[in-house]
Amino acid sequence: MTSTAVHLPLPRIPRVRGAAGRLQDNPVVGNKRVLLAAPRGYCAGVDRAVVAVEKALERYGAPVYVRKQIVHNIHVVSELEEKGAVFVEEVDEVPPGAHVVFSAHGVSPAVVDAAADRGLHAIDATCPLVTKVHREAVRFARDDFEILLIGHEGHEEVEGTAGEAPDHVTIVNSPAEADTVQVKDPSKVVWLSQTTLSVDETMETVNRLRTRFPEMHNPPSDDICYATQNRQVAIKKVAANADLVIVVGSANSSNSVRLVEVALEYGAKAAYRVDYAEEVKQEWLDGVATVGVTSGASVPEVLVREVLDALDGAGYRDVEEVKTAEEDLMFSLPKELRQDASGQRDARALGDARLVEAPRR
């Protein structure tokens, strides 16, 4: 069973900086404070993808084309555009012979083939953890399993994974859909998932599927990425003690949206997502003593710092970091970018103890 891809437009959010000190320091019951979740922000896959575009611009010069948003963050996309990156929906918009970067969310084999047909110089910045799921889909399809792919239809990552084995994949969007999905052979079913989902919702979906298909196979390892899990664990701890949670991240960032939902599920009285500090509303702070702050896995730390500065102006000067995990993983750059134009090896190439070679497609 196959799904119909839904192509989402690239959002553009013009930034209008608010005046300094626009949030008022109104009195509340108790001491004002901020609980700052850690880990937060950039994960290894996002860092690798953003650096890949920057290195491609340095090596080949502008323009360098990027299929879809390199990562789901409007600030990152806007900064890369200013440096000469051109974001397109599909590779047929890229001039023949040009350089094109595939985003961190991955692409299907059909996109790879289309780029080759146009003579494009493709640089694959797919997160290695997404590539792992792609390889699982190929292997299970080769063994004639039906693949129940838990994820959001229309998301680039889901499109890419489903495209690896379109005749074997059925997308399951939610726990409710687990109750109605049909399979041909319940003994030859396996589940895989989008890497940026809510851990709790994914396992609810898996449990419902297993009730209907007791012989369903598990993936060889957890598909939800380490960074998504770590950020959700951290915000759960913060939310239990927060009157308000602010998540910095873009609307099309699945993991950022999930952080808002997780915060509400785990005790926050209110939770909102913002792209920029200027979007924080005064009324959100009414009667609020404790504000939790975190950010999605595609958000640069500078945007979090701007939110903290805005809250500082409103009297939230006591900042306590709530740390639940340490992250030091880095992924090696795509092979095309491991040397600069002069042939010198890039520091991000290979060899650092924290660097992990991206799996081959």
Known catalytic residues are 157
Task: Report d(CA 197, CA 259) in Å as an integer.
Answer: 10
- Please enumerate in sequence order all residues whose Cβ is within 8 A of that of 109, keeping only pairs 6 or more positions apart, or say none: 163, 164
Residue 170 assigned as binding residue: no
Collapsed DSSP state (helix, strand, coil) of residue 247: strand
SS3 labels along 139-182: HHHHCCCEEEEECCCCCHHHHHHHHHCCCCEEEECCHHHHCCCC
- Cα–Cα distance, 81 to 65 (Å, whole number): 10
250 is in an annotated binding site: no
The one-letter amino acid at 60: Y
Please answer whether residues 11 and 251 qualify as being in contact, where contact means their C-beta atoms are separated by less than 8 angstroms: yes
Radius of gyration of the chain (CA): 21
155 labeled binding residue: yes
DSSP for residue 21: T
Annotation-wise, does 152 bind a ligand? Answer: no
Q: Is residue 75 annotated as involved in ligand binding? A: no
Please list the residues that pair with 248 across neighbouring strands: 274, 295
Task: Please indicate if the annotation marks 253 as binding a ligand.
Answer: yes
Which residues, 6 or more positions from 282, have their beta carbon under 8 angstroms from its beta carbon? 22, 23, 24
Q: Are 122 and 102 in contact (CB under 8 A)?
A: yes
The DSSP-derived string for 258-326 is HHHHHHHHTT-S-EEEESSGGG--GGGGTT--EEEEEE-TT--HHHHHHHHHHHHHTT---EEEEE---
CA distance 323 to 238: 10
Say how far apart CA 68 and CA 129 lie, in whole Å: 19
Is 195 annotated for ligand binding?
yes
* 78 belongs to an annotated ligand binding site: no
| 254 marked among binding-site residues | yes
Q: Which residues are annotated as a binding site for dimethylallyl diphosphate?
A: 72, 105, 155, 253-255, 298
Q: Which residues are annotated as a binding site for isopentenyl diphosphate?
A: 72, 105, 155, 253-255, 298
Q: Which residues are annotated as a binding site?
A: 43, 72, 105, 127, 155, 195, 225, 253-255, 298
Q: Which residues are annotated as a binding site for [4Fe-4S] cluster?
A: 43, 127, 225
